[in-house]
Amino acid sequence: VEKVFKFAKFPDKPYNYAISIALFLTGAFWMVWATTYLVYKGEGSPIEAFGKAIEPTKKIVKTGPFKYTRNPMMFGFFVILLGMAVFFRTLAGALLVPLIALGFIVYWRVFEERYLSERFGKEYLEYKRETSVLIPREPIHSGTLADDD
């Protein structure tokens, strides 16, 4: 991509490596935290394909990392991708991360959210309304989400 579009590389600076390591560790933290939290709190597996969970969770999880984003594992994955782009000094890679994220957001809207809406009904629709799809932030409280931690 860089050769075709003649993208410049990031400068080879020592801080690039520190930034890339920080991004990688942050992304890995979110992925591990979310996966283990979903397995223990949701009592199921995060593995799914085209909106169908292989081993679906037994209950909706709205606390822990899921309090801040509906897709904390994918947030972590995209942070790792960004860290890799910085490590390899590829501007094209850094620019592709949001485009890939946009593709996943479309996928979530078409497959995952429909499945979860059917499965958990009003509870999921409320959670969806109050919680960011990807970028972690404090939820918008309507007074009904309870933190059970």
- Provide the pLDDT confidence category of residue 121 given band limits of 50, 70 and 90: very high
Cβ 97 vs Cβ 82: under 8 Å = yes
7 DSSP β-pair partners: none
What would the two tokens of residue 75 be?
Answer: 């947030």
The DSSP code sequence of 4-71 is: HHTPPBPP--HHHHHHHHHHHHHHHHHHHHHHHHHHHHHSS---EETTEESS--SS---SGGGGT-S-
pLDDT in tens, 21-51: 999 999 999 999 999 999 999 988 877 776 6
Q: Which of 4-18, 20-34, 132-146 has the highest mean pLDDT?
A: 20-34
- What percent of the chain stands above pLDDT 70? 91
